[in-house]
Structure 1
């Protein structure tokens, strides 16, 4: 417990205030959130996340993954996820650290350490919550301490990041990381399918077309896609469209009907229904809530 308090203190000292902010260390983000009223935020990167204080949850379709200071969250694929602050107050804000996963670096580590590239022995989700151990905590504390010594970041931060990735490769959930970088594994093929769907998010997609793109049989592709992402390819595409629409509405003064067409919907009313189902409010009210949250974070 002493080490996690040390990490929480560090985050409080070096974070830039309310909200989530990039740091001087590439791929490292710090969060300080003082309320549970913040709207659900989008998480769409492969990341390693630790909460040093408070509680967060991540929604993958209808599945909820909750974690606190005793656990870490790892997301191995770029999925359309929604994050929510569960426990936080102005006196004890949620304090978190996020590191982007670099699969090129992870692949090099696997080769250097002579770790086996695992075969697809079983299907599993592409994210998980696991116990946080002292080895990972120690690496995070040393990495955040570099923010107080900016002249050392260029040399030491890449080394500490490699160490953290290496510890993840030795953890109980290392199999997913190893399958991600194994050429032609089913998991890596699904990852390629996700990227293809992102590139074609706004147009109708045939499932046999997607199966050909990832070189999988149609039934095999469906089974692995659902196992890895907890949703079907069409559900994945729908969530991509809704998140893209949310970003467009937040960035532009465009009306809802126009945005719904631009992201691939033929019916604005259907778009509004599905938007509300995903984000909890109709489009314009949700965007108003997001802008209010941004103002409070300034």
Structure 2
């Protein structure tokens, strides 16, 4: 397994200090110190394999740490705050990821025997130890960076193998829930998608529960179990993340951005922003811009 990790690290070391596309559909890599505003984001469903260094992900009050030769699966869109750290020997953080496309996962699962999904209140992100078979599939996938003419023919097969190896492991039920209609996760996913597309609008939990075809109490419990956040907290985090990106992009001042993302009170926006990011909006944006120069 160490030999596979060594080759993967060599292949992924071409990455930059940001999400770096590989030329392979849905496969990306990253290394080094990543700007804070890129680590605080709404993360798409993915499989992420840590190669060197470590990463922590915090959603709500839940924080997980990912070390080398571990991978995490995120099965729903989650507003999270991440932090990456070099290894004990000062090697930069290095990781590769596969974005989970529900249609691809569903087509893959359709050819397999049916199996049980997750428990009723299953978290939307979790961690597992990598296996030699999973590493082997990743090695062959990343080798395609040097064989671009083979990507169209072989990448889909390697993607299916990565999915299959994850499916065999302790987080396999998360893949099934992503692609299976009318599971508890898929119902929460409908509500999450609504919030992401309408985050600036007022949110009524009763309407979201109806959208998810669940009672209000069941919806609220399940939503928090999956996302580690209440629906209103989820909306607030999405609003604040969008606001930060707008401020960094120069799309307005703190007051105009507050109204743009749905706040009625700029003072409340500033308080919640400072609580979430550690600094008031204008000062935080200035700090981020200085780091980007």
TM-score bin, normalised by smaller chain: over 0.9
Tell me the equivalent position of 2:5: 4
Residues 43 and 31 of structure 1, relative CA distance in 2, 3 Å threshold: farther
Match of 1:229 among 209, 222, 227: 227
Secondary structure at 1:172 match in 2? coil
Secondary structure at 1:125 match in 2? coil
Whole-Å separation in 1 of the counterparts to 2:117 and 2:70 = 27
Whole-Å separation in 2 of the counterparts to 1:76 and 1:234 = 20
The two structures have a TM-score, normalised by structure 1, of: 0.91
Q: Quote the offset at 1:204 in angstroms.
A: 1.3
Q: Quote the offset at 1:20 in angstroms.
A: 2.3
Q: Quote the offset at 1:232 in angstroms.
A: 0.7
Secondary structure at 2:47 match in 1? strand
Whole-Å separation in 1 of the counterparts to 2:125 and 2:17 = 27
Whole-Å separation in 1 of the counterparts to 2:288 and 2:156 = 34
Whole-Å separation in 1 of the counterparts to 2:89 and 2:243 = 32
Secondary structure at 2:194 match in 1? helix
Match of 1:129 among 127, 130, 146: 127
Whole-Å separation in 2 of the counterparts to 1:88 and 1:279 = 25
Whole-Å separation in 2 of the counterparts to 1:189 and 1:81 = 21
The two structures have a TM-score, normalised by structure 2, of: 0.93
Structure 1, unpaired ranges of 5+: none
Secondary structure at 2:98 match in 1? strand
Whole-Å separation in 2 of the counterparts to 1:208 and 1:216 = 9
- Give the superposed CA RMSD: 2.0
Alpha-carbon displacement from aligned partner over 1:49-71 (angstroms, at most 9, x marks no partner): 11111111111112111101121
* Aligned ranges 1:1-298 → 2 under 5 Å: 1-12=2-13, 14-15=14-15, 17-34=16-33, 38=36, 40-87=39-86, 92-116=91-115, 118=116, 121-295=119-293
Alpha-carbon displacement from aligned partner over 1:214-247 (angstroms, at most 9, x marks no partner): 1111111111111111111001110111111112
Whole-Å separation in 2 of the counterparts to 1:246 and 1:227 = 26
Residues 139 and 236 of structure 1, relative CA distance in 2, 3 Å threshold: same
Q: Quote the offset at 1:98 in angstroms.
A: 1.2
Q: Quote the offset at 1:179 in angstroms.
A: 2.1
Whole-Å separation in 2 of the counterparts to 1:91 and 1:136 = 26
Alpha-carbon displacement from aligned partner over 1:92-131 (angstroms, at most 9, x marks no partner): 1111111101221111121112232x25643110100111
Secondary structure at 1:254 match in 2? coil
Alpha-carbon displacement from aligned partner over 1:17-74 (angstroms, at most 9, x marks no partner): 3332122112111101147x85543242001111111111111112111101121011
Residues 264 and 89 of structure 1, relative CA distance in 2, 3 Å threshold: farther
Whole-Å separation in 1 of the counterparts to 2:114 and 2:212 = 26
